[in-house]
Amino acid sequence: MAESHSPISGESDSGRPAPSFENWSWEWLEYLARSPKRIRVLHVLDENTHRKGELSDTLNIPRSTLLRTLREMREYGWVIERQNGLYEITLAGSGIVDMFEEFYRQLHSIAGLTKLEQVLPLKLTDCPEFRSLLQGDIGYDEISTYVSTADSPYEPMRQFAEELRSTDVECLFLGVANPFYSDALERALESDSISSLIVSRNVVNELSRINTFDNIRVERSDLTTITEDQFRYNGFTTAQNVVIEGLNEDDLMTQVVVELSLTVDIVREWFEHIGSTL
């Protein structure tokens, strides 16, 4: 493997002033943060060696931009160029990919919880339990978030419906009647995969209009609790997880769906707080 090193002071190979050792890692982070395509270059090389042309085509990066990026990454010691023209990631570069992916997943989790905080009622989020979640007291492998975007506006709803359709539900709480879930709800109720149901009165009225709730109210009143208090969100628990949906107050469109592991103490405590408000 070709020799590579990080300059401590003085000038880099390109003639640019090199940072002091204390600031070196911060420059790395800022360098990657300025362009997501840089971490994509490392990610592709982490999977296999490539030539310049292959990288340019695979990542849709102009050749001149790619050459500059590869030169900079060689200076940092993240990649090397073989004599046959193949570019290969170094151990340091591979380590950066692993750490950046972990950082991204943690950031994605916090972003999803932040979106949930914006759309849930204050009484659910203005509590120590939720603040602990926002501070990162949960691993990225114990949380999944699905946020509505311009490209995928219905992805959170699809995820919620699929989970409802395919999972044994211990407790389902419905504060908003969403026609998108009618089929999944009917199937879940008909298959007896829902153990208990908490429904806001306004949802009962709406579901009755589309004949989703009448049979359940008559035949399965034992599993149903109707609350007069309106709550503007939906969710459910399984043996392992709690899934909660946050909606935009103006049009009641789903903005985010978050799934959290109930094996985590702080998640279980937050859900107990939610239950106390229903």
Q: Over 60: is that where the pLDDT of 219 sits?
A: no
Co-location of 142 and 216 in the same domain: yes
Share above pLDDT 70 across residues of the chain, in percent, rounded to a whole number: 86
- Position 243: which residue type? V
For position 79, which CATH number holds? 1.10.10.10
Q: Over 80: is that where the pLDDT of 216 sits?
A: no
Kindly state the greatest CA–CA separation across the chain: 81
Co-location of 127 and 244 in the same domain: yes
Cα–Cα nearest to 158, from 257, 268, 20, 28: 257
- Position 122: which residue type? L
Which pLDDT does position 6 carry in this prediction? 42
85 domain-assigned: yes
Co-location of 65 and 156 in the same domain: no
Q: What is the pLDDT of residues 147-187, one digit of tens each?
A: 998 888 999 999 999 999 889 999 999 888 887 888 888 88
Residue 19 token pair: 């940072």
240 DSSP 8-state letter? S
Q: Over 50: is that where the pLDDT of 136 sits?
A: yes
Range of the domain at 160: 121-277
pLDDT, greater one: 243 or 152:
243
Which pLDDT does position 246 carry in this prediction? 92
Residue 17 token pair: 């002033």
251 domain-assigned: yes
Q: CA-to-CA distance for 82 and 70, rounded, in angstroms?
A: 13
214 domain-assigned: yes
Which pLDDT does position 63 carry in this prediction? 92
Co-location of 264 and 130 in the same domain: yes
Co-location of 159 and 260 in the same domain: yes
Q: What is the pLDDT of residues 39-74, one digit of tens each?
A: 999 999 999 999 988 999 999 999 999 999 999 999
- Cβ atoms 129, 269 nearer than 8 A: yes
106 domain-assigned: no
Which pLDDT does position 214 carry in this prediction? 58
3 domain-assigned: no
Which pLDDT does position 220 carry in this prediction? 59
For position 198, which CATH number holds? 3.30.870
Q: Over 50: is that where the pLDDT of 31 sits?
A: yes
Which pLDDT does position 5 carry in this prediction? 42
Last residue of a domain, one of 89, 111, 134: 89
34 DSSP 8-state letter? T
The residues with which 242 forms a beta bridge, in sequence order, are 237, 260
Roughly what angle, to the nearest 10 degrees, separates helices 36-47 and 52-59? 120
Rounded to 5 degrees, φ, ψ at 172 are: -110, 130
Which pLDDT does position 43 carry in this prediction? 93
Co-location of 136 and 273 in the same domain: yes
Average pLDDT, integer, range 213-224: 62
196 domain-assigned: yes
224 domain-assigned: yes
**E strand residue ranges, the chain:** 79-81, 87-89, 143-147, 169-174, 194-200, 224-227, 234-237, 241-247, 254-261
CA 46 to chain CA mean position, Å: 23
Co-location of 79 and 134 in the same domain: no
Co-location of 137 and 243 in the same domain: yes
Q: CA-to-CA distance for 51 and 38, rounded, in angstroms?
A: 16
Residue 255 token pair: 């903005």
Co-location of 162 and 249 in the same domain: yes
Last residue of a domain, one of 69, 89, 109: 89
Last residue of a domain, one of 72, 89, 106: 89
- Whole-model pTM? 0.74
Domain count, the chain: 2
Q: CA-to-CA distance for 190 and 145, rounded, in angstroms?
A: 28
Co-location of 127 and 225 in the same domain: yes
158 domain-assigned: yes
Pairing outcome for strands 254-261 and 241-247: antiparallel
Co-location of 145 and 271 in the same domain: yes
Q: Which pLDDT band, with edges at 50, 70 and 90, does 215 fall under?
A: low
Co-location of 70 and 125 in the same domain: no
Half-sphere exposure of 151 (CA within 13 A, CB side): 1
- Listed range (111-120, 177-186, 264-273) with the worst mean pLDDT: 177-186
